[in-house]
Chains A and B, each alone.
Chain A
């Protein structure tokens, strides 16, 4: 299968999002990633392959191990990645505004 992988299709899958969650906090080997899932190892490998193909994850060879880390270069292109961060602040600031408006009229 040499399909050109689509980034948004890649993160539409819950297992792949869970993998990104794990790798977002630290660089990990495939084995360490797979240990977090009950899913069969080849299934996890397949997910890693897809995430790597669409360049969300980057592989780095270190000795005999391959480490995976989040591909920083592609962060900009993934609006979905930054959007929750923006939304988090938007919700906080909306709340701040509501609270302070009430405060003002007290």
Chain B
């Protein structure tokens, strides 16, 4: 048998703890006898009577910790001492008591939640960059929901994320579906093999819902943030997203959705198509077919077309969509007065607004909007409508200081009642967005304003047509059917996709003009 003794100078433990530590040290394999105690005269006396008191131990003071281990022949003393010393710092986790653990910072939450892999940052834009950076530094993928994040900060965050192989989705990014979990604004869609990378929130929601309606599902949906394809940001997240989906065995086809990208960025992004090794469908609102086809991609002219092509290429070659009945528009036009010539679109979703506006632009240049690219046709948020008007209530001008219209519909409701008074209005087009993060009953909250608008028009001897599109699925709460039924009952004409909504608006604009 052999004995090892160590004196840890200037190290204090209370006697009760030391008794417990000694007990556990005695249970270690290879230990014959272990003694862990402060260097008091009494303890040294005990060691002396055991014949264990060495000169080093004799010199220990009351503030010094003595560790004495008597071990089996051949035992590794260094290892045993390490094991005994580990007992000194080993503690049971503190009990939770009445207060559950709450974290104040990303750092502490990340270290307290070992499995964490993604952070949602939805704080004021002035602080969002900092929180996102903390999350990236902790190895977390990030989704920045906040808006008003300076573009330089976005670039820095995306470069940092890229260097770490992490996603930095956003800012101003409403939508993502990761591992079948919808984050922030998103719909309950079927799991599947279509992977989406989208620079537009409602555009992403729309294609995911259309894919679901076609019987297919989503593998991953990566929201890049609205500015990702700008010159400054350079498509960092979209390119990383394409590469991640290309490498993802659960993804059979990739669908890209964006508002019109900067030219140089567009070609950089399209360059990724050839490397993907999977079919890639591209829907860039207002984009051109040549560039996409030249890059080896599949060009989509609408959200419906994008969803359909993706499903046909990656899931079901036979998938199809029922064409809308053109007679519906003819029947409407027949009921209009000669004055009623204009379409008014009141939208929550930016891409939905865009899609209908671009459709009407095909037949008229008298199209006004707060999101018009043509500066001569821009309509500031406070102005009355003129000609064909399309308002995106989710744009910064309207949301400044108030929640998104998907949550707080009050501005849009007031506008609906206002538009009904205009004798030139032939058609009002609205979207209703269901799903996570959205209003709990978007149709229900609008019904009184719809009734009032209809009454205003009929009191003035006019028919007022309202077209409503419900973006949602049978899995959302409330469900799609319930919301559609409520619109039906209120005399609203229901369309089945954003694309069909645009077509209805375009045909009404075209035919009402002619009438």
A and B are partners in one complex rather than unrelated chains: no
Q: Which A residues form the contact surface with B (CB < 8 A)? A: none
Contact residues of B with A, CB < 8 Å? none
